[in-house]
Structure 1
């Protein structure tokens, strides 16, 4: 028996949980041994070992293996461990591992479980992979109902496993039902209470249920102030509501009030991660569907529109500069301040828009609070612009002592005032545009990046030359 097999036999081959993006040297020996076992084709030894590992550790192992080895190991895993590992993988890793043969493997797995469990499993996959699997299943009537809800809605991500009891059910009966459901539902935080027609009427926290008299009906001590969301509500709105009301789980109801699912803590965390990743991509001028393993065509299709939008903005800014050709010929020193003005405009706009987007995403920016927030942004922008303008004016006057400048005082005044106006206007544009986009149903994160940068570049250059013409060349 080689060293790797001996390690397995002794059950000494272990994995230390790694912090995000920080591989541990202590795992290198386990990594080498597992690579040797994969090369040797020792499937059963590896499966026996990895069954004892936490799915998160298996996921980390897969991401540190070479892609070819990771695919082979993933195919070797039996259904239960592999499904749990898939749940822990980030979308980009899941899409890399999902080959045609693996899709066939999971089709067989899904065909052998009840529809409710199949839907729960499908919720762990990227949408494109889930739809592909649904299309391959022999009977998709129940499972296909997942597709009746639009992407990024509560109905699409909700869990369909929950404990719902009628109002006349006693606390003792409820506890017995929870115990019976323990294997099907791993974590139960809330018991939902319905009327005779199945409509949600209240909730009972598990702790309160355990302390209640066994013969007390649920209607006597349930919480009637129920906060539920419709199945077609956007998942970002669900997240805002959960944060605002400090909700651990969120019930999902149909249009007629029937309980159809719940958003679990794990799903709320995933929604927050998905929305943060989407906003980050949009702010970078990249399509929200972009993945690290995209083909060249998908990369071009996702990025080119944003680059072309930036090109349009830059062209407009260049046109503005070109229209002041005579002023530049008269005072070439003005050209030195164009990058300063454009940079300050872009930075001020991005700062204000980032704060606005964060306030909208977290629900901290209320409709009645908008004008007060904008007023604060205006005052802050005026202070920032005045300070930055004063510093720039001082630098101009200081440089004039060593570099011959024509009319340095007037140049300092022109540049200072232009920086004050540019910073203030850019901040107001950056704070306002995300709010407007949110009101008309467009993701406010789109305001950050190409849109704000391009618009503020144009405004910055225009204001700079207006100030220079008035106070320096006039």
Structure 2
């Protein structure tokens, strides 16, 4: 590397200067790859963060990205492999040897490894999995469906027979501490390895050495099946405030546990998925999607919104006579539609979050809807009052026909649409959840377009009675 050149470093800034700097970095890297001057290049790249390396790899042409990736040491390659978008990762490794890929995968922790393999095509899994050190664990995990407790769970847990004494259990933990890792709960099983109870580690340490753990365990233990959806697992854990959820098979045998870290992972995944759905985008969408995938993933949602908007336009058109009598009514259509959409989205977002975390259950539905109703009608009255004041000020500055009745019409419409939209937004996600449809799909396009139609209909109906 020439001495007069600045140190090779990627810039994470988003300004023009950073863009030009990264173009020069890219040019230097490509030159060193072409002339096979790779030793100083790799030495320098070892000091880069995985994020910067990932940005560099995605900026390089694919053949050069493959070449550079093969030169990187195992540890950085592992972190990069876990972060690369699925399609790009598959292409990046297409020409690589299976041995190199297996070498990288064998350095990963089991959970990271499983998450990475989830993104691989089946043809590649058939080649790679039989060569992995953790083959048995991975094959067992893959056997369970996606987003299930069995796919997510850790197979490292501490369990003792109910006849164990506290002293014997503590001695066993000490002798195998390096294997068990961190844990807060000891599970208790019977002679057939069926889960019968649990015991807090703090409680275990305070017992007399000769105390039988089966006599002091908590027999009221909550467990989930390996095939339970991960979102349902999160709800059950939230209700009981459990930090470590045991997983059992169809015979009630203990086969794993879901840790606090894994539950947090579920929360992040579900939140990310819900945010994508609420924005009218498929959860599988990626920044690197091709034009075809962008069209396929977004066009259905856009068409749904188009149909809803067209219906709203037809509703407006059906009140053509009213608009001819008082054109000023058209000025408040965006206000009514905006308030309806926002009110519905707010209520539906809270409902989706409550369903995801388990804080909404059947017995609380009516009480929650009553609170939503009271909150929405209060917000509507406040917003209507503000709108009344604005119309009154406007009547001073401009000539407005019958401003008092116009203000009353707009304010009353605002109260009604805000309340109705909030009730729709709070109810639809719960109904969809009951019939097995992801409630996050209720937000975004569906709630907004339906409330637009309702808002316009309510507004012109009210205007027909009060203003015209």
Q: What is the alpha-carbon distance in structure 2 between the residues aligned to residue 294 and residue 362 of structure 1?
A: 31
CA contact (8 A) 1:153 1:233 kept: yes
1:392 aligned to 2:383?
no
Q: Within 1, Cα distance between the matches of 2:205 and 2:43?
A: 43
Cα distance in 2 for residues equivalent to 1:177 and 1:293: 50
Name 2:102's counterpart in structure 1: 108
Give the CA RMSD over aligned residues.
3.7
Report which stretch shifted further, 251-260 or 291-300. 291-300
**Superposition pairs for residues 191-340 of structure 1, below 5 Å?**
191-340=186-335
Secondary structure of the corresponding residue to residue 441 of structure 1: coil
Shift of the 309–230 alpha-carbon distance from structure 1 to 2, 3 Å rule, reads same
Structure 2: where are the runs of 5+ without partners? Answer: none
Are 1:466 and 2:457 matched, yes or no?
Answer: no
Q: Is the 8 A contact 2:225 2:247 kept in 1?
A: yes
Q: Give the equivalent residue in structure 1 for 2:125.
A: 134
Aligned residue for 2:161?
166
2:431 to 433, 436, 448: 436
Q: Does 1:375 align with 2:370?
A: yes
Measured at CA, do residues 245 and 103 of structure 1 come closer, stay the same or move farther in structure 2, by a change above 3 Å? farther
Deviation, 1:76, is 3.8
Distance 2:41 2:196 in 1: 51
Deviates more, 1:163-172 or 1:274-283: 163-172
Q: Distance in 2 between matches of 1:75 and 1:104?
A: 12
1:239-259 per-residue CA deviation (whole Å, 9 max, x = no partner) reads 222233232221111121011
Give matches, 1:378-457, under 5 Å: 378-457=373-452
Looking at structure 1, the residues matched to 311 and 392 of structure 2 have their Cα atoms a distance apart, in angstroms, of 32
Match in the other structure for 1:124: 115
Cα contact 1:309–1:450 (8 A) shared by 2:
yes
CA distance in 1, matches of 2:368, 2:105: 54
Q: CA 1:102–1:331 in 2, change beyond 3 Å: closer, same or farther?
A: farther
Cα distance in 2 between the residues matched to 1:414 and 1:427: 20
User: Helix, strand or coil for the counterpart of 1:203?
Assistant: strand
Q: Is contact 2:186–2:200 with CA below 8 Å preserved after alignment?
A: yes
Runs of 4+ in 1 over 6 A off after TM superposition: 1-4, 35-38, 110-113
Partner of 1:42: 39
Aligned to 1:124, what secondary structure does the other structure show?
helix
1:102-153 deviation line (CA, Å, top 9, x unaligned): 683565349979xxx9964532326232755432247499443333322211
Judged with a 3 Å threshold, the aligned counterparts in structure 2 of structure 1 residues 43 and 279 are, in CA distance, closer, same or farther, namely: farther
List per-residue Cα deviations over 1:57-91 (Å, max 9, x = no partner).
8433434545338765654455566446655x3xx
Shift of 1:380: 1.6
Query: 2 CA distance for matches of 1:197 and 1:133?
Result: 38
Alpha carbons 2:86, 2:119 under 8 Å: kept: no
TM-score, normalising length from structure 2? Answer: 0.83
Match in the other structure for 1:10 = none
* TM-score, normalisation: structure 1: 0.82
Per the alignment, in what secondary structure is the counterpart of residue 246 of structure 2? Answer: strand
Q: 1:102 to 1:466 in 2, by over 3 A?
A: farther
* 1:276, distance to aligned residue in structure 2 (A): 0.6
